[in-house]
A and B are shown apart, each in its own frame.
Chain A
Amino acid sequence: MSVLRLFPEAATPVLDPHERAHLAALASLDLMTTSRLVALQAGRSPSEAFAIASGEQQPTEPIAALFARNAELRSRWRSSAKRNQPQEVGARCEEHGVSVVAPGDELYPPQLDGDPRRPAVLFVQGDASVLDARRVGIVGTRNPTRRGALTAERFGAELAAAGVVVVSGLALGIDGAAHRGALAASAAPPVAVVANGQDRPYPKRHAGLWAEVAEAGAVISEWPPGVAPEPFRFPQRNRILAALSELVLVVESRERGGSLITAREAGERGIDVFAVPGPIDQRSSVGTNRLLADGAAPAPDVETLLVALGLDHRRAGRHRVDARAQPDTDGVLALSLLHDRAQSIETVARQLGWELGRAARALVVLERDGWLVEVGGWYESTDPIGAGSRCDS
Chain B
Amino acid sequence: MSTLRAWRGPVLMIVGLLSAWQALYWITGDIALRSPADTIRHSWALFQRPAMWPHIRETATAFSAAIVIAVTLGMSVGLTLGFSRLAGQVFEPMLVALYSVPKVTLYPILLLMFGLGISAKIAFGALHGFIPIALFTINAVRNVRPILIKTGRVLNYDTSDLVWRILIPAALPEIFSGIRIGLALTMIGTVLGEMFASQRGLGYLLMNAIGLHDVDLIMSITFVLIVFAAVVSSILLAIDRRLHRRV
Q: Real complex partners, A and B?
A: no
